[in-house]
Amino acid sequence: MLNMTNFPEILNYILGVFFIIIIFSLAYAYLKPHRLHKRYTISTLALKISYLLYLVVILVVIYLSSLVKGGIAEVFMDVEFFAFLLVLFIPTIGVFARKLGQFRKKRESYYYFFTLVNGLSIIALIIMYII
């Protein structure tokens, strides 16, 4: 029998997992990692996989921060919160901006740069969450 006093907490955990699955599915559908550019195969694959890995890490960190450690403001305090905001937005802006005209001539170096940014973002998130 289900204990009704724990029901809101259990519902939050279930909705959190559901949220992660939906966001990741939308990102996968947008990026289409199975479709690669013929000329920039390796750099495209590196960017897409690094972004999807980054997305999983950030979604799990947000999930654990919100539901296990009392909230994002409790986990990321002061300067860490602003670093968290940068890590939250910069890789996503990089993935969305990849199709802009300014980056067409230097597409491969752009992809490698944001692959590196995604990797550094993953490392920064893990360090900030653990510490």
What pLDDT does 2 receive?
55
In a domain, 50, yes or no: yes
CA–CA dist 89, 84 (Å, integer)? 9
Q: What predicted TM-score, i.e. pTM, was given to this entire model? A: 0.85
In a domain, 37, yes or no: yes
What pLDDT does 43 receive?
87
On whether the CB atoms of residues 114 and 95 are closer than 8 A, the answer is: yes
In order along its 131 residues, the chain shows pLDDT tens digits of 556 677 777 888 888 899 999 999 999 998 888 877 777 889 889 999 999 999 999 999 999 988 888 888 888 888 999 999 999 999 999 888 877 777 677 888 899 999 999 999 999 999 999 88
On whether the CB atoms of residues 32 and 45 are closer than 8 A, the answer is: no
In a domain, 2, yes or no: no
In a domain, 1, yes or no: no
Neighbours of 62 (CB within 10 A): 20
What pLDDT does 89 receive?
94
What pLDDT does 97 receive?
85
Question: What is the domain count for the chain?
Answer: 1
User: What is the domain range of residue 90?
Assistant: 7-130
What pLDDT does 124 receive?
94
List, in order, residues 6 or more apart from 41 with CB less than 8 Å away.
none
In a domain, 57, yes or no: yes
List, in order, residues 6 or more apart from 72 with CB less than 8 Å away.
62, 65, 66, 81, 84
Q: Where are the alpha helices (DSSP H) in 7-106?
A: 7-31, 41-67, 72-75, 79-96
In a domain, 38, yes or no: yes
